[in-house]
Structure 1
Amino acid sequence: MAGDVGRVEWRLVPGAVAVWLAGLGGLLVHWVVALAVGGVAVVAGIVHLRHTRPVRAIRAGWPLVACGLLALFPVTSRIREAADDPLRGDAARAAVVELRVEVAERPRKVRSSGFGAMPSGVRSVVIPVTAEGSRVLLFAPVEQWAELLPGQRLVANGVLGTAEPGSLTVAVLRVRGPPTQVTEAPAWQVAAQALRDGLRAASSVLDDESAGLLPALVVGDTEGMVASVEDDFKAAGMAHLLAVSGANLAVVCVAVLFLARLARLGPRSSAVAAMLALVGYVVLAGPEPSVLRAGVMGAIGLVALALGRERSALPALAVAVIVLVTVDPAMAVSFGFVLSVLATAALVLVVPGWVDRLERRRVPRLLAEAIAVPAAAHLATAPVVAGMSGQVSLVAVVANLVVAPVVAPATVLGLGAALVVPVAPWAADWLVRAAGPEVDWLVVVGRWAARMPGAALDWPSGWWGGVALALLAGGLVVGLRWRSARVALGVGVVVAVVVLLPVRALAPGWPPPGWAAVVCDVGQGDAIVLSTEDSGRVVLVDTGPDPAPVRECLDRLGVRQVALVVLSHLHADHVGGLASVLADRSVGAVAVGPGRAPDWAWRQVREQTAAAKVPLVGVTAGQRLAWPGLVMEVLAPQGKEERSETDGTAINNRSVVLRATTRAGRVLLTGDVELAAQAELLTGRADLAADVIKVPHHGSRYTAPDFLSAVGARLALVSVGGGNRYGHPSPQTLAALIRQGTRIARTDRTGDTAVVPAPDGPELVVRGDPRPPSRR
């Protein structure tokens, strides 16, 4: 009997694997691969039928044949149709088109980390649409596009571009102008949006961090989230709480079943009530692929919890994979889909055994489940996460274990608030306040976990990194079955504690003693910190493209107060992190030069400083600013406020140029000034001589050798992102610096770099390495 059970458990798995491989190979390689996989599955199933006894053949052979046919049609046929779509040819020619489309998903706001016309997370949206059955991705401005709902039809004009390979999306449309001929949204979509808006409004009774988190926790609405909280959740391995997952739906359905039991409903009525709740929740969160996937996986989780046996849950999981990939072959290459399948498989295959073992060691079952579920899910998904992010979280299991008791109550209370707010706002207010302590706890744990030293371990990214971690984890799980392996692991841990930790502790600390300036590694952008004699109080010049990198740099430096934030100019790679600085530190004021363009950035800076109640002041050439141990002179630009610049070069040339006199010597901070502004500085009366120069515009080729010679710096700092698409820094600019004997440090290679005083003049110290950078 046991052997028969084993066969029943696994009979659908080969078919699910065949369908998944067909979608994966067809999208990542060629549709012919999907055809081959489907054909092999059909042939294998037929061979099994011919050489196996009838009962076993029915259980294993026919499902494999059926799945092979599904891989041939519709999986292969849909991938081939997308590959041959006429819009691909138009996209390759960058054709200007007018398309009548239907909105497939809610618009998602884009967070841009580059510079130019796009701010960090506020100016554009991405909208998946269908155009006569073809999948197209719209990039559109927020205005008039952000409020669209699934099911609406409209006409969009724009320029087609090629889509990323490996998906069913055939083209990208960069929209010009507003949508036209817009139809009404379906009534149920309007109602769902009203409930989401109501939840966001009701959550405003909480503080800003919790008010933004509650809608994200309940329906995946991250629009109002404070950036620092979102970054903390990612670093802590808790980002899955910010999206609708199978766990959300399981919580809702369990709550409904509990209420049905209290109402003494029969099994069928309870099942119907749970199914209606499941459908309603999917509608509320939005019928997008990720939510639909979560609905299916949530149902699988309920099967596992209800039956308590992996025998029935595993076939159900296989059916979910088959259905999802058949309906939407793009699921096969979705990281979210992979994570959902792995986490659900861990739930139904690993957790029951772990819970039983813990119970045999006298651990209460409720506690055993609380430990086993996050640990198994993290272990199963860690290889994929590591391959995606290049990091392995060392605190994720503990963080998720600590927050597990409050997630379900917060979700249920928040959902209740969303449902009652249209008819009883006072009740919604009460429910939100009841959810407040739970959400506050999530914020506290996320912040604590993200800021733990060594919270994340760097790991090779990409497929090889994921495979390596999977092999390592598998080896540990298998190896720990033997006592000798457990002893070896214990010895390894002792060696790490006794040897590696002291080595890390004896390594040079950060920041180095007496540091005068630090150029932060914020990617393709600028953020330079200047110290004063008041420990923990600094001046910050620019804030980088995104909130997290500049906040992490200031955390590493132990900065508590920012006397002044100077924004050299208003491109996104210099102002994108301002919100996190204002949220996390005591800031005295924010200073900007005469440039007031682009307009969106100027408006954003005003809104952020006003919300933080921080003064916004102007600086211009000739001003002198002083603190104990630090004096800054504004060398450029001259002139009145200017809002008319629209060209990127003109905006760059209006950058604030500062010469800072520090304990280590003179530091010239040049923003993104290009040739015209450099020429004005050379012909003016300003004294440009400095010991250290922050090379203009990330080392672009628009840097005059005469300008670098006039500065005559012995040290050069290039703030630049690795592998950027602009070709920064330019080889010509680097060569000009090398010819005059300047030592160069690039943040894409050395990370955070400090300027420190030395007997022979300032020196550079790279974070974690006491040796100065080479001249290469």
Structure 2
Amino acid sequence: MSSRSPWSRYVESAVRVQALPDAAGPDGLLGAAGPDGRGTRAAGPDGHQAVGPVNARLTRPTSHVAAQVRGHLGKRLRGQARDAAGTDVPRRRTDLRLAFPALLVWCAAISGVWLTPEALAAVCGGLLSIAGLLLHRAGRAKARSGPQRAVPRSFLITSAVALLLAAAAAGHSAVTSSQRYDGPLAEAVKSGKSVVAVLEVAGSPHALAPAGQAGTSGRWSVAVTTVEITAGGQVVRARAQLVVMGGGDWGKLTPGQVVRTTGKLKAAESGQPEAGLLAATSAPMALSAAQGWQQAARELRSRYVSAAAFLAADPRGLLPGMVTGDTSALDEGLNTAMKAVGMTHLTAVSGANCSLVLGALLLVARSLRLPRLPAAVLALAGLGLFVVLVGPDASVLRAALMGSIALASLAGGRSGRGLSFLCLAVIGLLVFDPGLGTSYGFLLSVLATLGIIVLGQRMVRWTPTVVPRWVAAAFAVPLSAQMLCGPVIVLLQPQFSTYSLLANVVASPLVAPVTLLGTAAVPLVILAPWAATALIAVAGTFSAGVAWTARFTAALPGASLAWPEGAFGLLTMVLLSALTLGLVWMAVRPRQIVQCVVALHGRTEHLLELVERRVRRSRHYAVVNRLKGNGRPGRRG
């Protein structure tokens, strides 16, 4: 005979509590069941035997308490049976405490792009004043503290900290705003003067696509920081953000270089954080080289592209883009196909790549039996080198910061929550660079992560247990990200990618080996070229599968459908996302749908019976009244 588990003995002792000799006291009270199945009793103030902590206030007879225990345990066991069947999985509450501070900081960062410096100063003053009032009220609540004051006081302190962070973001934005509205640089931009500019390259060059056409126009966009501007004989020395539009020579620059050029200043579009645009009329002349680490990263990216030259055309251009962010060799036909099916996030390094690299480094460190803190330091160092290699784009910075916060929590021995990590990353990045608040790339990155955290995990929980978890995640992750990013993508590109989910699900298993094997080959390009060639060949095979998936799905009929533009297109895409979520829930929860339909059918039948009963009663009264009144309607008896 097999031994019973402690839980089985506990349940049996609780259900059969009346049969236990020591379960009830002399006054008929029930003691709390201990782990051995026997009741425990404690003497009350009146000398009678009182129950344990759970039933301390109960004074009902044993039969009533036993019935309550049976009912409670019955509900609990039925809930466990539903959990085992995969229909009701216990959920962990989503932590929303940092959502309000993140939203407030984001609003403050956006206001810095649209408001004047005077208006931003007023906003900062108002935020600081409200924060001071909340802190003062929180201090008074502590002075007259009581148990009921804990929650309000924590809410006041959290709100005050959120307002202080928002004031910091608004103050940072005010500095940039002053460069757009005041000073000699703002006057030169408004007048559209031709200038001689000394500039420091602040970002990697990006190729510009001609309007309404495929391919590139041979022109490049480069983010720069002004060092010196000479306009109309006046020299302006100020640090301001500009965007340079230039020819092919501008695509060869490296972040950190200082160059001299000539061009014409133009006003930036409304809602952009830059102080203006510079249409370059001459090639950049280098005055100083980039810093050593930036130059080394550019050289390493170039050597990686050369090392992958033996691959076929598609993997030859796609592999360096997925590993190092260098898309210079990417075929335009493949780039167009990936745009048509919603796979552009794979053409360059994104947050998913950072997460894979971070996870792999942490796994290697822990497999070497390193303690938690050294493993976290090693993983963070590797992630930092990866970010230096790729370049600090918005999505990479967001993913790197999220990974750093997660590792810090892990090193402290406490597990955090994904939404809290995302909110912390948003707050940190926006306080550091408020200009990200109006960046579509940053918004899409945050929305994709939010969709995976909030919707993706729920979709996986909804899936029946007969479906493997990795299969459920393969569908839930891209679908949840697409549902939240879809409305914003419509604003940028008014079209609907019919096979986006299919393409991303098929390609998702191929992304991990491309990222991990391709990244492992980067240092080997210099240390051991023969080993790098082997890894690049394997990673190139997987990247060829990604390219084939994009081309195949893009060639299917109706792969890209026109969609309404503007606010109407955004609203319709939101409705489509909500409808998709409902359909997914219906598909993975057919039992609940049947139960809802049966319950609705029963309620409808009951309603019809009530209506029929009332109609029959009214007809009966009408006949009786006619008989009593010789055909005239009478008073109801």
Q: Normalising by structure 2, what TM-score? A: 0.68
CA distance in 1, matches of 2:431, 2:567: 25
Matched-pair contact (CA < 8 Å) for 1:21–1:37: no
- SS of the aligned residue for 2:389 comes to helix
SS in 2 for 1:128: strand
Instruction: Please name the residue that 2:561 is paired with.
Output: 457
Cα distance in 1 for partners of 2:373, 2:416 equals 23
Q: Aligned pair in 2 of structure 1 residues 114, 466: CA closer, same or farther (>3 Å)?
A: closer
Match of 1:419 in 2: 523
Q: Is 2:395–2:445's contact at 8 Å kept on the other side of the alignment?
A: no
1:401 equivalent in structure 2: 505
Equivalent residue for 2:372, pick from 262, 267, 272: 267
Query: In the alignment, residue 88 of structure 1 is paired with which amino acid?
Result: A
The one of 210, 231, 256 equivalent to 1:151 is 256
Cα deviations across residues 181-235 of structure 1 (Å, max 9, x unaligned)? 5202111111111110111111111111110010111122111011110011111
| Cα separation, 1, equivalents of 2:362 and 2:291 | 30
Shift of 1:304: 11
Matches within 5 A, 1:330-349: 330-349=435-454
- 1:40 and 1:139 map into 2 onto residues whose CA distance is 39
Cα offset, 1:32, TM superposition: 6.4
Conserved? CA contact 2:179–2:186, under 8 Å:
no
Pair 1:66-2:164 in alignment: yes
Structure 2 residue 225 is matched with structure 1 residue 139: no
Q: Partner amino acid for 2:369? A: R
Residue 430 of structure 1 and its aligned partner are, at CA, apart by 0.7
Q: CA deviation at 1:328?
A: 1.4
Q: CA deviation at 1:28?
A: 4.2
SS of residue paired to 2:558: coil
Show the counterpart of 2:106. 20
**Which of 469, 472, 494 is equivalent to 1:365?**
469
Q: Does 1:435 align with 2:533?
A: no
**In structure 1, what residue type is equivalent to 2:243?**
L
Q: Shift of the alpha carbon at 1:486?
A: 6.5
Instruction: Indicate how the Cα distance of structure 1 residues 201 and 476 shifts in structure 2: closer, same or farther if over 3 A, else same.
Output: closer
- Letter of the 2:274 counterpart: T
| Distance change (3 Å), C-alpha of 1:314 and 1:303 | farther
8 Å CA contact retained: 1:156, 1:179: yes
Deviations 1:537-591 (A, max 9, x none): xxxxxxxxxxxxxxxxxxxxxxxxxxxxxxxxxxxxxxxxxxxxxxxxxxxxxxx
Partner residue, 1:190: 295
- 1:679-717 CA-partner distances (Å, limit 9, x unpaired): xxxxxxxxxxxxxxxxxxxxxxxxxxxxxxxxxxxxxxx
Judged with a 3 Å threshold, the aligned counterparts in structure 2 of structure 1 residues 461 and 302 are, in CA distance, closer, same or farther, namely farther
Task: Give 1:350-749 correspondences, 5 Å limit.
Answer: 350-358=455-463, 360-474=464-578, 477=581
Deviation of 1:319 (Å): 1.7
Q: Is the 8 A contact 1:246 1:294 kept in 2?
A: yes
Displacement of 1:75 in angstroms is: 2.9
Q: Does residue 401 of structure 2 align to residue 316 of structure 1?
A: no
Q: Does residue 82 in structure 1 map to residue 180 in structure 2? A: yes
Displacement, 1:57? 3.5
Partner of 1:174: 279
Structure holding more helix per residue: 2
Q: Distance in 2 between matches of 1:464 and 1:173?
A: 34
Equivalent residue runs for 1:246-325 within 5 Å? 246-297=351-402, 299=404, 312-325=417-430
Q: After TM superposition, give the deviation of residue 66 of structure 1 in Å.
A: 1.8
Matches within 5 A, 1:23-102: 23-28=109-114, 42=128, 45=131, 50=137, 53-54=149-150, 55-57=153-155, 60-84=158-182, 86-102=184-200
Deviates more, 1:155-164 or 1:294-303: 294-303
Deviation at 1:250, TM superposition (A): 0.4
For residues 301-343 of structure 1, the C-alpha deviation after alignment (integer angstroms, 9 at most, x for no partner) is: 8799999999632222112111211221211111111111111
Residues 372, 411 of structure 2: 8 Å contact kept: no
User: Distance between the aligned counterparts of 1:457 and 1:345, measured in 2?
Assistant: 26
Structure-2 change in CA distance of 1:88 and 1:208 (3 Å): same
Q: CA deviation at 1:280?
A: 0.5
Q: Distance in 2 between matches of 1:302 and 1:401?
A: 28
Question: Which has more radius of gyration?
Answer: 2
Aligned to 1:526: none
Tell me: CA distance 1:181–1:335, structure 2 relative to 1, closer, same or farther (3 Å).
Answer: closer
Counterpart residue type for residue 164 of structure 1: E
Are the structure 2 counterparts of residues 375 and 162 from structure 1 closer, same or farther at C-alpha, using a change threshold of 3 Å?
Answer: same
Q: Once structures 1 and 2 are overlaid, which stretch shifts more, 194-203 or 46-55? A: 46-55
Please, which runs of 5 or more residues in structure 2 have no aligned partner? 1-91, 142-148, 227-237, 598-637
Distance in 1, matches of 2:408 and 2:479, equals 20
Q: For structure 1, which segment, 330-339 or 31-40, has the greater mean C-alpha deviation from structure 2 after superposition?
A: 31-40
* Unpaired segments ≥5 residues, structure 1: 491-776
For each residue in 1:240-285, what CA deviation from the matched residue of structure 2 results, as whole angstroms up to 9, or x when unmatched? Answer: 1112211110011111112212322221121111101111011000
Cα pair distance change 1:127/1:85, threshold 3 Å? farther
Q: Deviations over 1:570-620 (max 9, x none)?
A: xxxxxxxxxxxxxxxxxxxxxxxxxxxxxxxxxxxxxxxxxxxxxxxxxxx
Equivalents in 2 of 1:417, 1:324: separation in Å? 30
SS class of match (2:252): coil
Relative distance call for 1:129 and 1:452 in structure 2 (3 A) is same
CA distance in 1, matches of 2:253, 2:204: 7
For the 8 Å contact 1:38–1:69, the answer to whether it is kept is yes
Q: 1:40 to 1:472 in 2, by over 3 A?
A: farther
Q: C-alpha distance in 2, partners of 1:310/1:247?
A: 20
Matched letter for residue 220 of structure 1: G
**Residues 1:303 and 1:377: Cα distance change in structure 2 (over 3 Å):** farther
Give the Å deviation of 1:173.
1.7
Check whether the contact 1:237–1:393 (CA below 8 A) recurs between aligned residues: yes
Amino acid at match of 2:154: R
Give aligned-pair identity as a percent: 33
Per-residue Cα deviation, 1:138-160 (whole angstroms, up to 9, x for no partner): 122213x3322111112222222
Whole-angstrom distance in 1 between the partners of 2:409 and 2:325:
24
Alignment partners' CA distance in 2, 1:12 and 1:36? 25
2:216 corresponds to: 121
CA contact (8 A) 1:34 1:71 kept: no
> 1:283 & 1:42 partners in 2: Cα distance?
36
> What is the SS of the residue equivalent to 1:22?
helix
Aligned to 1:236: 341
Among 215, 219, 228, the alignment partner of 2:320 is 215
After superposition, what is the alpha-carbon deviation per residue over 1:515-555, rounded to whole angstroms, capped at 9, x for unaligned? xxxxxxxxxxxxxxxxxxxxxxxxxxxxxxxxxxxxxxxxx
In the alignment, residue 239 of structure 1 is paired with which amino acid?
Answer: T
**Alignment partner of 2:277: what SS?**
strand
Contact persistence 1:303–1:313 (CA under 8 A): no
Give CA deviations for 1:739-771 in whole Å, capped at 9, x if unaligned: xxxxxxxxxxxxxxxxxxxxxxxxxxxxxxxxx
Q: Which structure's relative contact order is higher, taking Cα pairs within 8 Å and 6+ residues apart?
A: 2
For the 8 Å contact 2:109–2:435, the answer to whether it is kept is yes
- CA-to-aligned-CA distance 1:110-139 (integer Å, 9 cap, x gap): 333489xxx952633222110131111112
* TM-fit CA distance, 1:180: 3.1
Judged with a 3 Å threshold, the aligned counterparts in structure 2 of structure 1 residues 61 and 169 are, in CA distance, closer, same or farther, namely closer
2: CA distance, partners of 1:291 / 1:186: 21
1:11–1:59 contact (8 Å) kept in structure 2? no
Partner-residue secondary structure (3-state), 1:284: helix
Asked if structure 2 preserves the Cα contact closer than 8 Å seen for 1:386 and 1:466, the reply is yes
The amino acid that maps onto 2:324 is V
